[in-house]
Structure 1
Amino acid sequence: MHDKRIGFLTFGHWQAVPGSHTPTAREALLQTVELAVAAEALGLDGAFLRVHHFARQLSAPFPLLAAMAARTSRIELGTAVIDMRYENPLGMAEEAAITDLLSGGRLQLGLSRGSPEPAFRGSEAFGYVPQPGETAADLARAKTELFRAAIAGAPVVHADAGGVPSQATLAIQPQSPGLSERIWWGSGTRQTAAWAGEQGMHLMSSTLLSENTGVPFDVLQAEQIALFRDAWRAAGHPGKPRVSVSRSVLPIVSDLDRRLFGSASTRDQIGELEGVQARFGRSYVGEPDVIAEELSRDAAVREADTLLLTVPNQLGVEYNAQLLETVARHIAPAIGWRPATQR
């Protein structure tokens, strides 16, 4: 097993229903900042946001990431993931650079083609319409290419010479050195995992794989990781590629935990997604020592260097901080994690 980093991943749900600690968007946003502070105090390594549009969940991530940066000093801050179909690559490059500078170079940006969404052709409402013959994946990849070039300092426009373009060219400003090396791709298939490796992006392997070969979820995900690393090496990229996987880990240590999650499914699920058979990862629910043993046998968790814990954010900061503390003390050591202060 690799020396692990552990962070949390929040969708930032809000809804005014009984039992919700996040009845409004304001509460969901403020509590995300507070949970990042609590995670850093526990010695965890990261706080990541899942980005969705047209839903009562986190959307535009950079103002929130900047607020998290202002209240923390060490942990990585990131996205898992941004749907690039919705983004203006150059505007996003400016916002990302500013956020990374404010954080002291702690930004880790996960990007992707996007997942099923509540809006019909939602990105088109943002003004981004695929060209004839262009797929959603094509659009996302083209935008990603321009975004990566912009944050790496490539010139993206000619300077103005009295109303005509000059030979001089301009890059977006500001630039944040090193940010271009901290870009990840959210992959749902072995093919896109290999593509991410070829492109020199790190890998965020999804908890929803849009393929099903009959093997358990963690084994299929481990195959993705192996193909990604092979592609990275074959392409000759420098440095060591990073890999993250996400898991729902819900230790049962109280009667409240048992009432909330005692009947949750702990098996992989298979379903249909956008016309193809997909496999969904299991949840880890139970006594901490049992979860520790099970998680230590998870093939993809063993191969990844980063584990993101999907938190039930509507239960509030206090509950989720306690959940993260239980994982850190009683579960994470079994998969090779040590608090940041002990490394």
Structure 2
Amino acid sequence: MKRIGFLSFGHYGTGRGSKTNTAADALHQAIDLAVAAEELGIDGAFFRVHHFARQQGAPFPLMAAIAARTSRIEIGTGVIDMRYENPLYMAEQAAATDLISDGRLQLGVSRGSPEPAANGAADFGYHPEDGESVADMARRHTATFRNAIAGAGVAEPAPHAYMGGERLLRIEPQSPGLAQRIWWGAGSRSTAVWAARQGMNLMSSTLLTEDTGVPFDQLQAEQILLFRDEWAKAGHAFTPRVSVSRSVIPVVDDEDRMYFGLRSQAENKDQVGMIDGLLSRFGKSYMGDPADIAGDLAADEAVQAADTLMLTVPNQLGVAYCTKMLENIAKYIAPAIGWTPATA
């Protein structure tokens, strides 16, 4: 079954035409958009997480608020930068949010992308151990977090604590099933293979930090194939989820043409450039006539290989515009990739 969700970068600021002038605007509108998306039959509401930026930096209050206003839609992140996280406190927040949502949390985590701060994780109080890189530290934090949400004991009890025979205290609350709903944001084929070995679902975005000269969708489809092959070798006890992200903007009226008409020709092709010191391939945007987009997405090898498609939304254009965009995608484009609206 193919699923689609929206992915919001959560930007706010007083730029020209912005409907999210403040952080409060962005947060309240994110909740309203999730409610509207659920009514359209969209399957997921996902949010980027960035620090020291005018974006969403603390996703759990937002996701808990969405959980309280909705009943079906999946709620998640894409992705939490684990360099910045206290893994045990995060485990408590994640479990509590998952319980509020009745098991709808889908958490994307990763080493993270470049942030505005030169060494933001250190400013948060986190430093690599001897011989570690910051990427190693992120993976260590992730392992501790996953261990905690799986119910393992993590803390020595005080002498007065009643343990009932257990040696170590576990974090509370616990939310059964959450451990199988953790996704690793993989930026390369090798990190996708690593994620499969660890037993995490795969979240792949609109760029890969490598380039072999083939179109982006083919490179990403290869990444997915390698992930699934490694998962089968590892013999994990559940079937993994795989998501890819795409920028999909149907241009159907004058408002769409005003915002995106001139951009569609320039951005409807792959780009190759440097990010974080690595030669990277960026996937093209899909903008223009809905029928053309439907055909192009149906031919996108990675979209076809994944079970979940995340659609980036221009959140600063406001809830009404983003809802209209999602509705047009749901009506005219998503059926071409095998999607049908979810029901309560």
Q: TM-score range by the shorter chain?
A: over 0.9
Equivalent pair of 1:210/1:273 in contact (CA under 8 Å)? yes
Structure 1, residues 273-295: CA drift from partner, whole Å, max 9, x if none? 12220011110001101100001
In structure 2, the residue matched to 1:328 is 330
**Superposition pairs of residues 266-277 of structure 1, within 5 angstroms:** 266-277=268-279
In structure 2, the residue matched to 1:112 is 110
Cα distance in 2, alignment partners of residues 317 and 178 from structure 1: 32
Cα distance in 2, alignment partners of residues 275 and 245 from structure 1: 23
Cα distance in 2, alignment partners of residues 37 and 115 from structure 1: 29
- Give how far 1:168 is off: 2.4
Structure 1, residues 279-338: CA drift from partner, whole Å, max 9, x if none? 111100011011000010001000000000000000000000000000000000000000
Equivalent pair of 1:158/1:167 in contact (CA under 8 Å)? no
Equivalent pair of 1:218/1:299 in contact (CA under 8 Å)? yes
Cα distance in 1, alignment partners of residues 338 and 100 from structure 2: 31
Equivalent pair of 2:2/2:339 in contact (CA under 8 Å)? yes
In structure 1, the residue matched to 2:61 is 63
In structure 2, the residue matched to 1:235 is 234
Structure 1, residues 93-136: CA drift from partner, whole Å, max 9, x if none? 00000000000000000000000111101111000011232111
Q: How many residues align?
A: 339
**Superposition pairs of residues 255-334 of structure 1, within 5 angstroms:** 255-264=254-263, 265-334=267-336
Cα distance in 2, alignment partners of residues 67 and 341 from structure 1: 21
Cα distance in 2, alignment partners of residues 276 and 74 from structure 1: 39
1:339 aligns with 2:341: yes
- Give how far 1:253 is off: 0.5
1:173 aligns with 2:172: yes
Cα distance in 1, alignment partners of residues 16 and 113 from structure 2: 29
Structure 1, residues 243-279: CA drift from partner, whole Å, max 9, x if none? 0000000000011211211122111111011222001
1:196 aligns with 2:198: no
In structure 2, the residue matched to 1:7 is 5
Identity of aligned residues (%): 64
Aligned-pair Cα RMSD in Å: 1.4
Secondary structure of residue in 2 paired with 1:81? strand
Cα distance in 2, alignment partners of residues 312 and 267 from structure 1: 19
Alignment gaps of 5+ in structure 1: none
Equivalent pair of 2:153/2:167 in contact (CA under 8 Å)? no
- Give how far 1:137 is off: 1.2
Equivalent pair of 1:159/1:167 in contact (CA under 8 Å)? no
- Give how far 1:167 is off: 7.3
Cα distance in 1, alignment partners of residues 229 and 239 from structure 2: 12
Equivalent pair of 1:85/1:113 in contact (CA under 8 Å)? yes
- Given residue 133 of structure 2, which amino acid in structure 1 is its aligned partner? T
In structure 1, the residue matched to 2:134 is 136
Secondary structure of residue in 2 paired with 1:319? helix
Equivalent pair of 1:9/1:80 in contact (CA under 8 Å)? yes
Alignment gaps of 5+ in structure 2: none
Structure 1, residues 51-71: CA drift from partner, whole Å, max 9, x if none? 000000011100000000011
In the superposition, the TM-score normalised over structure 2's length comes to 0.97
Secondary structure of residue in 2 paired with 1:211? coil
Structure 1, residues 128-153: CA drift from partner, whole Å, max 9, x if none? 01123211110011010000010000
In the superposition, the TM-score normalised over structure 1's length comes to 0.97
- Given residue 310 of structure 1, which amino acid in structure 2 is its aligned partner? T
2:82 to 76, 84, 94: 84
Secondary structure of residue in 1 paired with 2:238? coil
- Given residue 46 of structure 1, which amino acid in structure 2 is its aligned partner? G
| Displacement over 6 Å in runs of 4+ | none
**Superposition pairs of residues 148-227 of structure 1, within 5 angstroms:** 148-161=146-159, 168-227=167-226
- Given residue 255 of structure 1, which amino acid in structure 2 is its aligned partner? D
In structure 1, the residue matched to 2:253 is 254
**Superposition pairs of residues 19-38 of structure 1, within 5 angstroms:** 19-38=17-36
Deviates more, 1:127-136 or 1:4-13: 127-136
2:14 to 16, 22, 27: 16
- Given residue 67 of structure 1, which amino acid in structure 2 is its aligned partner? A
Equivalent pair of 2:205/2:246 in contact (CA under 8 Å)? no
